[in-house]
Amino acid sequence: MAFAETQAVNRNSRVLIASSNEDFRRQWAGNPEYGAVDVEEAAGGADALAKLESANWGEVLLDRRLHDLDVNEVLHIIRARHPHLLVRLVDSDVSALAAGDLVEVPNDSILSGSAGICEGGVQVAPEDAADPAAEEEASAQTRASRIEPLPGMMGDGPGLEQTYRLARLVAPRQTTVLITGETGTGKELVARGIHQISSRAKSAFVVVNCAAIPEQLLEAELFGHARGAFTGAVQSRLGRIHLAQGGTLFLDEIGELPLGMQAKLLRFLQDGEVQRLGSPDVFRVDVRVISATNINLQRSVQEKKFRQDLYYRLAVFPLELPPLRERKEDIVPLAEHFLDMLSEQSGVSTKVLSPSASAALCQYGWPGNVRELQHAVERAFILCGEDGQLRAAHFSFSDGSAPVREI
């Protein structure tokens, strides 16, 4: 593979190595070319795009053979959002780790249209194709275009925009998705949004809270049971997996799944087959699985509390939701949205937030995230009575901090 001479790696920069092959990532991370450079790994295209948003990077080494996203889609997003980032492509099937295995993607690369194609099918712009006027027009179009929020969601800050972008990329596929984030960030809303914009939208979206069902009943809930399978099983019943046929199964709090059930769920994910408790019959089902957790599953794997093979099956496409404290620009619009809903439900004129109430909301850390904000607005709505304005004094916060005084 031909390799164009590239600029030397900036020793003060950070390098991200993105590949679905863990051994391959480790090999490149230890490559002498990078020396003492700060090198981090990304487990796939989605993981790479998320990490690129969280810090400043000097280079990304991108495997052509990603398992979760098409490499051209990943390149398109990287070039749109990080136009000056050094991007180099490498093939994980190539065993030798040498500069000759790399191909640099020019900063002015175009991933659609009639541009030339370099080895491996990555489209790049010809060297003389730069047109300042065209670039300015494209830049204006990029600024004007916004990623549409998922159905049922609000917020347009950088963190959520990345979530929307990745969710819309994975929605048309059958890929399993793992949504992570703190409690109250809206993980189920994202799962529902992915379902609603997928080809499965007309079929069922079935929710199973793995932490809310006793372990002894969970297998029967998921897989169903035959009559007489256990005490109290007076009739046969289909499980939640079967009820999601043709649609989406959302496994909330997946980190709380007992180890015994993890093995059974893994078999279903591998084979697509369901066997009801107490029955020899096996059913093949067509179900997409989306799971969510607020705990660190990788740490649970290290602590032997979660199966590593199941983790990799569930986390083919990871999506991490930012906490509300990192989305300050969304706090007041969300609060106003909840106010509109409450006013409509109560049949009263729409109430508004006072300036000091808005300031108080933005100063608070929101450990309970969007759910806590919704409850705080509802409580303040009740406390304000006939007042048409919610003031800072109507709010109280779980950390005991005093609201901002009205001016």
pLDDT, tens digit (0-9, with 9 covering 90-100), for 194-239 = 999 999 999 999 999 999 998 878 988 898 877 766 666 667 788 8
CB within 8 Å of 292: residues ≥ 6 apart: 178, 179, 180, 181, 187, 188, 191, 250, 251, 252, 253, 254
Residues 182, 294: contact at Cβ < 8 Å?
yes
pLDDT of residue 193: 97
pLDDT digits (tens, 9 = 90+) for 282-308: 889 999 999 999 999 999 999 999 999
pLDDT of residue 43: 86
Where exactly are the structural domains of the chain?
14-144, 158-320, 324-394
DSSP bridge partners of 319: 179
Q: Which residue has the higher pLDDT, 384 or 234?
A: 384
Q: Which two tokens stand for residue 320?
A: 């991490």
* Region 372-401 average pLDDT: 87
Q: Is it the case that residue 60 has pLDDT exceeding 60?
A: yes
Domain 14-144 part of CATH 3.40.50.2300: yes
Q: Which residue has the higher pLDDT, 88 or 31?
A: 88
pLDDT of residue 119: 36
* High-pLDDT (> 70) share of the chain, %: 78
- Say which amino acid occupies 272: G
Among the residue ranges 97-111, 181-195, 315-329, 383-397, the one predicted with the least confidence is: 97-111
pLDDT digits (tens, 9 = 90+) for 100-157: 456 666 665 544 433 333 333 333 333 333 455 555 554 444 444 568 899 999 887 7
Q: How confident is the model at residue 275 (pLDDT cuts 50, 70, 90)?
A: confident
User: Mean pLDDT in the chain?
Assistant: 81
* Region 349-378 average pLDDT: 93
First and final CA of the chain: distance in angstroms? 68
The Cα 155–Cα 329 span in angstroms is: 8
pLDDT of residue 1: 36
Domain 158-320 part of CATH 3.40.50.300: yes
Q: Do domains 14-144 and 158-320 have the same CATH topology?
A: yes
The Cα 155–Cα 283 span in angstroms is: 41
CATH, domain 324-394, list 3.90.1150.10, 1.10.8.60, 3.10.110.10, 2.40.10.10: 1.10.8.60
* Region 250-265 average pLDDT: 94
pLDDT of residue 400: 57
Q: What is the widest separation between alpha-carbon atoms in the chain? A: 77
Q: Which residue has the higher pLDDT, 349 or 206?
A: 206
Q: Is it the case that residue 9 has pLDDT exceeding 70?
A: no
The Cα 228–Cα 331 span in angstroms is: 52
